[in-house]
Amino acid sequence: MENITLQNSPKFHFVPTDCEDVVITNVTILAPERAANTDRSTQAAGGCSFTHCKIDVGDDNIAHQGGQKDPGTRFQSEDITVTDCVFRHGHGMSIGSETAGGVRNVTVKNCTFENTENGIRIKSDTRRGGIVENLVCDGITMKNVNPAITFTPATYQGNSAGDAKLASGAQTNAAPASGNIPAYRKHPTAATSRPRVPRRRD
Q: What is the pTM of this model?
A: 0.82
Task: Please confirm whether the linkage preceding 97 is cis (ω < 30° from 0).
Answer: yes
| Strand pairing category for 112-114 and 141-143 | parallel
**184 belongs to a structural domain:** no
**41 belongs to a structural domain:** yes
- Asked which of 75-79, 81-85, 114-118 is least confident by mean pLDDT, the reply is 75-79
**67 belongs to a structural domain:** yes
Task: Give the mean pLDDT of 137-162.
Answer: 85
To the query of whether residue 39 is one of the catalytic residues in this protein, the response is no
Distance, in Å, from the CA atom of 50 to the CA atom of 172, rounded to the nearest integer, reads 32
Name residue 152's beta-bridge partners: 123
The CATH number of the domain holding residue 34 is 2.160.20.10
Query: Going edge to edge, which strands form the sheet with 54-56?
Result: 5-7, 28-30, 54-56, 86-88, 112-114, 141-143
**25 belongs to a structural domain:** yes
Distance, in Å, from the CA atom of 77 to the CA atom of 151, rounded to the nearest integer, reads 18
**188 belongs to a structural domain:** no
For a pLDDT cut of 90, what percent of the chain falls above it? 49
Model confidence at 161, pLDDT cuts 50, 70, 90, reads low
Q: Residue 146: which residues within 8 A CB-CB, separation 6 or more?
A: 117, 160, 161, 162
**191 belongs to a structural domain:** no
pLDDT digits (tens, 9 = 90+) for 15-55: 888 888 999 999 999 999 988 888 777 676 778 999 999 99
**92 belongs to a structural domain:** yes
**181 belongs to a structural domain:** no
Q: Higher confidence at residue 169 or residue 100?
A: 100
To the query of whether residue 202 is one of the catalytic residues in this protein, the response is no
pLDDT digits (tens, 9 = 90+) for 61-80: 999 988 877 776 778 889 99
Q: Which of 59, 60, 79, 125 is catalytic?
A: 59
13-18-23-28 Cα dihedral, nearest 10 degrees: 0
Per-residue pLDDT at 177: 47
Nearest partner of 60 among 131, 122, 5, judged by Cα = 122
Contact 76, 101 (CB under 8 A): yes
Buried b (16+ CB within 10 A) or exposed e, 129-163: bbbbbbbeeeebebeebebeebbbbebbebbbeee
Model confidence at 156, pLDDT cuts 50, 70, 90, reads confident
Per-residue pLDDT at 193: 47
First-to-last CA distance in the chain?
26
Q: Higher confidence at residue 202 or residue 124?
A: 124
Count structural domains, the chain. Answer: 1
Note down the domain range covering 95: 5-172
Q: Helix (H, G, I), strand (E, B), or coil: what is residue 47?
A: strand
Burial of 194 (0-12, 13-18, 19+ CB in 10 A): middle
Q: What are phi and psi of 5, to 5 degrees?
A: -120, 130
Per-residue pLDDT at 178: 56
